């Protein structure tokens, strides 16, 4: 379920890409080169690019859709009319950064391919179920979309629930990028023996809160989304 590299047709970009795109003057070139090498491929073979975005401690998702005439899909689990323009402006800024990036020929496999005019794509805002406004689930929604949106024709397959939260937590903790994975493997049996399954899972997760500090699981791989 969790991947940390690009697929030939889909790119799942890390959260650090937004930081680079919105700070196009002072960003680290080596960081961008790493993202390009690990998470990107050929634009002329790509259907969709998933870009997690954050504004005022709220996560939402931008999907660059190259199918048909192209579109910038805005997915937001907690829409706010007072914040919408700012969030769309941020999407447009990232789209412009991508367009400038795609001027380089290394992003095209075929010689006849032309530069993708990403910033000229229309905004599309599909209906999506909204999270409980009292929750802090925006990062969970973005993660769920990134992991499953390539499987369905709709962006609104179901509501996020405790099952998704548990699966995400397990994916983060068992990711190879978790620097304390070996320690987790050693401790897990001790919490499991003689305890109820659900209770032991909760205890294993809460007994050492730092055990997932280094966890990074794709599609959000460089920095885990905080939620």
pLDDT digits (tens, 9 = 90+) for 114-147: 998 999 999 999 999 999 999 999 999 999 888 8
Is 69 part of a structural domain of the chain? yes
The CATH number of whichever domain residue 46 belongs to comes to: 3.30.310.130
Report pLDDT for 44. 94
3-class SS string, 128-188: CCCCCCCCCCHHHHHHHHHHHHHHCCCCCCCCCCHHHHHHHHHHHHHCCCCCCHHHHHHHH
Is 204 part of a structural domain of the chain? yes
Is 1 part of a structural domain of the chain? no
Is 86 part of a structural domain of the chain? yes
* H/E segment holding residue 198: helix 197-207
Is 173 part of a structural domain of the chain? yes
Q: Domain range holding 100?
A: 10-212
Omega of the bond leading into 219 within 30 degrees of 0 (cis):
yes
Report pLDDT for 6. 53
Band (24; pLDDT cuts 50, 70, 90): confident
* 4 vs 126: CA distance, rounded Å: 27
Whether the model clears a pTM of 0.75, i.e. scores above it, the answer is yes
Domain count, the chain: 1
Is 218 part of a structural domain of the chain? no
pLDDT digits (tens, 9 = 90+) for 146-190: 888 767 777 775 678 888 888 888 888 888 888 898 988 888 888
Q: How far is CA 128 from the centre of its chain?
A: 17
pLDDT digits (tens, 9 = 90+) for 58-82: 999 999 999 989 999 999 999 999 9
């Amino acid at each position: 379920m969790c991947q940390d590299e690009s697929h030939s047709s889909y790119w799942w970009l890390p959260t650090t890409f937004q930081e680079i795109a919105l700070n196009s003057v002072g960003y680290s070139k080596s960081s961008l080169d790493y993202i390009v090498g690990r998470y990107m491929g050929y634009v002329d073979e790509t259907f969709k690019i998933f870009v997690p975005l954050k504004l005022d401690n709220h996560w939402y998702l931008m999907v660059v859709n190259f199918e048909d005439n192209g579109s910038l899909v805005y997915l937001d689990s907690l829409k706010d009319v007072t914040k919408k323009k700012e969030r769309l402006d941020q999407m447009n800024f990232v789209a412009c950064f991508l367009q400038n990036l795609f001027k380089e020929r290394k992003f095209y496999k075929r010689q006849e391919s032309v530069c993708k005019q990403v910033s000229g794509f229309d905004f599309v805002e599909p209906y999506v179920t909204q999270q409980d406004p009292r929750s802090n689930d925006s990062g969970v929604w973005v993660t769920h979309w990134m992991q499953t949106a390539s499987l369905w024709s709709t962006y609104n397959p179901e509501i996020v629930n405790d099952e998704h939260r548990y699966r995400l937590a397990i994916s983060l903790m068992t990711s190879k990028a978790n620097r304390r994975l070996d320690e987790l493997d050693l401790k897990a049996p001790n919490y499991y023996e003689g305890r109820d399954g659900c209770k032991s899972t909760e205890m294993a997760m809460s007994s050492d809160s730092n055990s997932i500090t280094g966890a990074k699981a794709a599609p959000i791989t460089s920095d885990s989304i905080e939620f």
